């Protein structure tokens, strides 16, 4: 570990393999909190690279209780958080719309960290179980095209870093890797980030992690979601090639809305917004989800264009299929709960 820390202190990057070895040591019983803190703070000061991020993600995924590569063409849609927008649970709502369009979604998430309400908070309020076993996740993915994987439940080794991160009180590499550590092997992804200058680096990371197609987005107002407030900056991976472009909502037939119009609240309020969107209630919340779900469907490759993806998102909602995906997940959770009782 001393070698890796000295290298970072000299502002030298760790290789993919070096990062894997450093993190393997950190999750061992031999590692001290001081070593972990030095590594995280050093990486932050130096600036993390795609190899370093991919290295830590590979180790944490391998250590997960639920790592599986049994599914093909699965995606996730998630942001890194930390944009300070206070928005409702956009990606969580969009996940059901994407699933309703026929895409298999392994939704990986956590409780609130930087926002008012995390994906786990709102889904738990709606009655979705946060503690599904690996076998149950497989079953509901096969039956319903969407399952929720609660990060602390599927990544017990993450707890090794929790105290250190809390004590440091600064952003670390862990603020970037949450959406990348999904234990279900993903072929495609829609990833939101709150810093525009890391779009290409995060795309390179996704490519190193084996994504065949992906979109990395920084929205108008520096949201970690696509935003209707103005220009969105997007980096795409397709067949190994990385390209970048911008997208204004007017280009895909959607109105502009301010970020203030999509503020969320507590779990009860955000659950209400989620359900209203899935019922097709018009307004800024619906329009925002249509944009993000459309981009997700396009990222997956099911839609040939973003406009096509938005059209499929509308069909998913107004046909009732998106709401059906949510209800099926709630019903499955209730069945599991009754079996335990």
Q: How far apart are CA 147 and CA 141, in angstroms?
A: 6
Nearest-angstrom CA–CA distance, 1 and 24:
10
First vs last Cα of the chain: how many Å apart? 47
Does the annotation place 338 within a ligand binding site? no
- 257 belongs to an annotated ligand binding site: no
- The label of the residue with tokens 């119009």 reads 261
Interior angle at CA 265, CA 261 and CA 268, nearest 5: 125
62 is annotated as contributing to ligand binding: no
What is the DSSP annotation of 46-61? H---HHHHHHHHHHHH
Distance CA 80, CA 259 (A): 18
258 is in an annotated binding site: no
Residue 79 counted as an annotated binding residue: yes
Number of neighbouring beta carbons within 10 Å of residue 195 = 15
- What gap in Å lies between CA 200 and CA 99, rounded to an integer? 27
∠ CA 255-261-262, rounded to 5°:
95
89 is in an annotated binding site: yes
Distance from C-alpha of 17 to C-alpha of 267, rounded to nearest angstrom: 41
Say if residue 73 carries a ligand binding annotation. no
Q: Is 250 annotated as a binding residue?
A: no
119 among the known binding-site residues?
yes
Is 110 annotated as ligand-binding? yes
Q: What is the dihedral of CA 266, 267, 272, 277, to 10 degrees?
A: 100
* Runs of H (alpha helix) within the chain: 2-9, 16-26, 33-46, 50-62, 90-100, 119-126, 134-144, 151-154, 159-168, 174-177, 199-208, 267-278, 284-300, 306-318, 321-340
273 labelled as ligand-binding? no
The verdict on whether residue 113 carries a ligand-binding annotation is: yes
Residue 218 annotated as part of some ligand binding site? no
* 242 annotated to a ligand binding site: no
Q: Name the burial class of residue 324, with classes exposed (0-12), middle (13-18) and buried (19+) by CB atoms within 10 angstroms of its CB.
A: middle
280 is in an annotated binding site: no
Q: Which helix (H) or strand (E) holds 244?
A: strand 241-247
165 is in an annotated binding site: yes
- To the question of whether residue 178 is assigned a binding role by annotation, the answer is no
108 in a known ligand binding site: yes
Give the residue numbers of the binding site for Mg(2+).
91, 224-225
Provide the annotated binding site.
79, 82-83, 87, 89-92, 107-115, 119, 165, 224-225
Binding residues for 5-phospho-alpha-D-ribose 1-diphosphate: 79, 82-83, 87, 89-92, 107-115, 119
Q: Which residues are annotated as a binding site for anthranilate?
A: 79, 110, 165
């Amino acid at each position: 570990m001393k070698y890796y820390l000295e290298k970072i202190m000299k502002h030298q990057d760790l290789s993919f393999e070096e990062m894997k070895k450093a993190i393997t040591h950190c999750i061992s019983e031999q590692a001290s909190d001081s070593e972990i803190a030095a590594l995280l703070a050093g990486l932050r000061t130096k600036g993390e690279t795609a190899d370093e991020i991919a290295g830590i993600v590979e180790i944490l995924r391998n250590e997960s209780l639920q790592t599986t590569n049994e599914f093909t063409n699965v995606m996730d849609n998630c942001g890194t958080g930390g944009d300070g927008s206070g928005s409702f649970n956009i990606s969580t709502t969009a996940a059901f719309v994407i699933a309703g369009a026929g895409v298999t979604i392994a939704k990986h998430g956590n409780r609130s960290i930087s926002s008012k309400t995390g994906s786990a908070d709102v889904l738990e309020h709606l009655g979705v179980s946060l503690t599904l076993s690996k076998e149950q996740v497989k079953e509901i993915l096969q039956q319903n095209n969407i399952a929720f994987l609660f990060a602390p439940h599927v990544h017990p080794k993450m707890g090794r870093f929790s105290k250190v991160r809390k004590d440091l009180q600064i952003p670390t590499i862990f603020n970037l890797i949450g959406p990348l550590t999904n234990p279900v092997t993903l072929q495609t992804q829609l990833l939101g980030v709150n810093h525009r200058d890391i779009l290409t680096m995060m795309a390179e990371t996704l490519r190193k992690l084996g994504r065949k197609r992906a979109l990395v987005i920084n929205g108008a107002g520096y949201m970690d979601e696509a935003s209707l407030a103005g220009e969105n900056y997007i980096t795409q991976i397709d067949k190994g090639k990385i390209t970048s472009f911008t997208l204004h909502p007017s280009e895909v037939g959607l109105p502009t809305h301010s970020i203030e119009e999509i503020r969320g609240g507590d779990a009860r309020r955000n659950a209400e917004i989620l359900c209203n969107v899935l019922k097709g209630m018009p307004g800024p919340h619906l329009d925002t989800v249509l944009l993000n779900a459309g981009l997700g469907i396009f990222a997956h490759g099911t839609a040939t264009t973003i406009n096509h993806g938005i059209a499929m998102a509308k069909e998913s909602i107004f046909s009732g299929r998106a709401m059906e995906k949510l209800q099926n997940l709630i019903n499955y959770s209730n069945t599991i709960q009754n079996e335990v009782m």
